[in-house]
Amino acid sequence: MTAAPGVTAGFAQEIAAVVEQLRHITVQVRTRRAATGAGILWNTGEPEGSGLVITNAHVVPGNQATIELGDGSVARARVVARDPKRDLAALEVELEPARTTAAAVVRDSPLHVGELVIAIGHPGGFVGAATLGIVHADESARDGRTPRWVRADVRLAPGFSGGPLADAAGRLVGVNTMIQGSLALAVPAAAVAAWVRRPRALVAS
C-alpha cells in the first residue's frame, strides 16, 4: 500500500508532461468577429515558413483568421479547405522564415472504452486549459469505415472547439467539435488525416 502514493504522483507528473506537450501544438484561432476557438498544428511536410492548422469550420466562418502560437507569437492565416459536414477547416499559416513548430502526432491504433483522453482549449479567456476524461463508447469502424465520432466523457466549454483530443501518450485521437448531452464529440483523427491527404482536399470551397 505504501507504493500507491508514489505511483499516483508519478502518473500525475506524466499527465502534466503530456498536457504541456499538447499545449505546444494547440493554437488560438481568432476572427474579425472576435470569436476565439482552438486549432491544431498539423504536420504536412511543407518547407519552413509555412504551416497548417486544423480547426472546426464553425470557428472560422470567413476566409481569414489570426493564429496565436503557444509562445505568444501571432501569424496570419487563410482558410484553404473547408468541410461543413465534418465541421473541419484547414488554415495555411504564414510563419516567420526558419521558424520551426511542434506538430500533432496522429494515433494509428483503435481507441477502447474507458481509455484516458485529454482535451486542450481556451475557455473563458484561459489559454491552454486542460480537461481529462475517458472514452465513453466504442464506435468501431464498420465495413472499413472510420467511426463518425469519438465520444468521450470529457467536460468541454466554448473555446475548446477545434482543439486536440489526445490519449495519455499525447497522440492525437480527435478534433474537439461539440457537446451532445453530457458527452464530448470529436472528429476522429484518422478521418482528419485522410481528409488532409485527399487529392485536391486543400482547396477552399
Higher local confidence (pLDDT), 173 or 148: 173
Indicate the domain borders of the chain: 116-190
Instruction: Respond yes or no: is residue 205 known to be catalytic.
Output: no
Global pTM reads 0.88
Question: Does position 202 have pLDDT exceeding 90, yes or no?
Answer: no
pLDDT band at 27 (very low <50, low <70, confident <90, very high): very high
User: Given this model, what pLDDT does residue 175 score?
Assistant: 98
Backbone angles phi, psi at 187, to 5 degrees: -70, 125
Cell numbers of 185, please? 464529440
Mean pLDDT, rounded, for 27-31: 93
Looking at this protein, which amino acid is placed at residue 126? F
Task: Tell me which range, 6-20, 28-42, 44-58, 182-196, is most confidently predicted by mean pLDDT.
Answer: 182-196
**Max Cα-Cα span within the chain:** 59
The closest of 7, 64, 3, 11 to 35, measured between CA atoms, is 64
Instruction: Respond yes or no: is residue 112 known to be catalytic.
Output: no
Give the single-character DSSP code of 59.
G
Instruction: Respond yes or no: is residue 161 known to be catalytic.
Output: yes
The CA–CA distances, whole Å, from 140 to 118, 148, 149, 182, 193 equal 20, 10, 10, 21, 18
User: Given this model, what pLDDT does residue 150 score?
Assistant: 94
* Mean pLDDT value across the chain: 86
Higher local confidence (pLDDT), 167 or 197: 167
Q: Residue 127 CB: number of other CB atoms within 10 A? A: 17
User: Given this model, what pLDDT does residue 33 score?
Assistant: 59
Question: Does position 196 have pLDDT exceeding 70, yes or no?
Answer: yes
User: Given this model, what pLDDT does residue 59 score?
Assistant: 95
Q: Residue 26 CB: number of other CB atoms within 10 A? A: 30
Which member of 24, 122, 136, 161 is catalytic?
A: 161
Contact 126, 82 (CB under 8 A): no
Cell numbers of 32, please? 474579425
Which member of 24, 87, 136, 167 is catalytic?
A: 87
Q: Which fold has domain 116-190?
A: Thrombin, subunit H (2.40.10)
Backbone angles phi, psi at 67, to 5 degrees: -110, 130
